[in-house]
Amino acid sequence: MNKQALTTITITSELQVSHTPDVVVIGGGATGIAAAIAAARNGANTLLIEQRGYLGGMGTAALVPAFCPYTDGEKPIIRGIGLDLLEKMKQAAGDKFLNSYKDLLDWVPIDVETLKRVYDKEVLDSGAQLLFHTVADQVLLDGDRISGIVISNKSGRSVVQAKLYIDASGDADLAALAGVPFQTGGEQGELQPGTMCYLVSGVDKARFEQFIEQSGQGKSLEKTVVEAQLNGDLPEGRKRISGMAWITDSVVGFNFGHIFGIDGTKAEDLTRAAIEGRVLIDVQIQFLRKYVPGFENIHLVHSGDQIGIRETRRIAGDYTLVVDDFISMRTFEDDIARNAYFIDIHLANANSTMVIKHLPKGQSHGVPYRCMLPQGKSNLIVAGRSVSSDRPVQGSLRVMPNCFAMGQAAGTAAAMASVTGGGFREVSIPELQRKLVEQGAWLGERPGHADAVAVGASGKVEFDDEA
């Protein structure tokens, strides 16, 4: 058998420096948006780099249909930039949308095109610069510091030299390129499945609500889904619709079903997921038309530009947030956010079990600054779903409201470090916390915080297993 010879070609070229900001943010999802706004508002010359032609990450590119909860069941704990952006989307989406969701902070539907415009405006109004259609594909190192990153776009390849670097990619892409150690998925490398979300039009909401009332099964449609699976009209897997968000009375967003075995850091997997996801959407559309009154005449108007990804890399940081911290509702001296979202690990395959763990209403745990600091790098911070945590906690931290909060902290810290000339570990934690609270964030009960609500370390934690 002939073996094909492999030839390695080395191309040497001198790249020009195209940008020299104080702070560069990689990734324009919820984390990166908040990070860029915070850094710029705090006085840093900030550049936000995004691979697509718009901001929003999973909320826009993957069409995740609704924001996860901002509250602990009693009060908003995600405030500051994240809450402000939610309210601005409501205002910009029109009177009917605002009237429907004005007082809602949990599971607010996402009006994708409105949200894109809101994000553009808020980032630019903060003073940050945007660079779309661009990826970072190489990191230049000088000891424990990043001295520059190589970016690629239609203009060619060039170098961005910043003082501080924020990895808001969701996949710890910049950290991985810089050699930061990380973990991926579970003990056998298994990953939560992806979901190809989508929007349909032509729904008769009144007819659907009548069906829900008469069938008595709730909007998850569990009995209907199981019936369709038994009839072979839906594949085996989760026995309910996990997300249905009403954008208008006739337009609905769906988070429904899974594509298994997808590693969101591999282009080949993302390609397969896109193709399989669109096939699955067609199956689900046929199911909705056949089984669900009010959906007989629906039309698919948009599927995600990419499949929604729930987990990939988790960095090794100065502190690893673990499930015991979640269950005990621990508070840390270096808290930069609070989290109350339940642990939500989706089934790894069609026959496995989905485990959900809730905190009691009104309770939350702290998110320490140290879990965003990658080992071995002084001027890099990682915020969002790739922070240093164990797998169960990642299943809780990964949602967009939490990403806003972590991004705001990372951006504020970067602005502070850009002034002093030090790295992220030299940032004064009390000063960072003071700035965050002054800028609307909520850090729970802390000395001198007038709006504090006691966060205890007791209370029953619910453990639910859901097929």
Q: How are the residues of the chain apportioned to helix, strand and coil, as percentages rounded to the nearest 5?
A: 30, 20, 45
Task: Give the C-alpha separation, 21 to 15, whole Å.
Answer: 17
Say yes or no to pLDDT of 364 above 50: yes
pLDDT tens digits for range 33-88: 999 999 999 999 999 999 999 999 999 999 999 999 999 999 999 999 999 999 99
- Strand pairing report for 164-167 and 156-160: unpaired
The pLDDT, as a whole number, for residue 239 is: 84
Provide the terminal-to-terminal Cα distance of the chain, rounded to the nearest Å.
49
Using alpha carbons, select from 397, 203, 424 the residue that is nearest to residue 299.
203
What pTM, to 2 d.p., does this model score? 0.92
The pLDDT, as a whole number, for residue 8 is: 39
In the structure encoding, which two tokens stand for residue 22, read together? Answer: 């104080």
Domain 15-187+310-467 has CATH 3.40.50.800: no
Using alpha carbons, select from 429, 404, 377, 420 the residue that is nearest to residue 36.
404
The pLDDT, as a whole number, for residue 238 is: 80
pLDDT tens digits for range 112-166: 999 999 999 999 999 999 999 999 999 999 999 999 999 999 999 999 999 999 9
Q: pLDDT class for 446, splitting at 50, 70, 90?
A: low
Quickly tell me which residue has 């500051």 as its tokens.
80
pLDDT tens digits for range 367-380: 999 999 999 999 99
Task: Give the C-alpha separation, 313 to 263, whole Å.
Answer: 10
| Residues 6 or more apart in contact with residue 403 via CB below 8 angstroms | 29, 30, 31, 34, 82, 383, 384, 385
- Strand pairing report for 299-303 and 313-315: unpaired
Q: pLDDT class for 219, splitting at 50, 70, 90?
A: confident
* Region of residue 409 (phi > 0: left; psi between -120 and 50: alpha; otherwise: beta): alpha
Quick one: 34 exposed, middle or buried, by C-beta within 10 A (0-12, 13-18, 19+)? Answer: buried
pLDDT tens digits for range 278-334: 999 999 999 999 999 999 999 999 999 999 999 999 999 999 999 999 999 999 999
The domains of the chain are located at 15-187+310-467, 198-303
Say yes or no to pLDDT of 455 above 60: no
Please state, in angstroms and as integers, the Cα–Cα distance from residue 329 to each residue in 30, 292, 376, 450, following that order: 24, 41, 29, 21
The pLDDT, as a whole number, for residue 4 is: 39
| Residues 6 or more apart in contact with residue 5 via CB below 8 angstroms | none
Mean pLDDT score, 220-234: 95
Say yes or no to pLDDT of 212 above 80: yes
Q: pLDDT class for 10, splitting at 50, 70, 90?
A: very low
Mean pLDDT score, 400-427: 98
Q: What is the b/e burial string over 194-233, where b = at least 16 CB atoms within 10 angstroms of the residue's CB?
A: bbbbbbbebbbeeebeebbeeeeeeebbeebbeebbeeee
Quick one: 99 exposed, middle or buried, by C-beta within 10 A (0-12, 13-18, 19+)? Answer: exposed
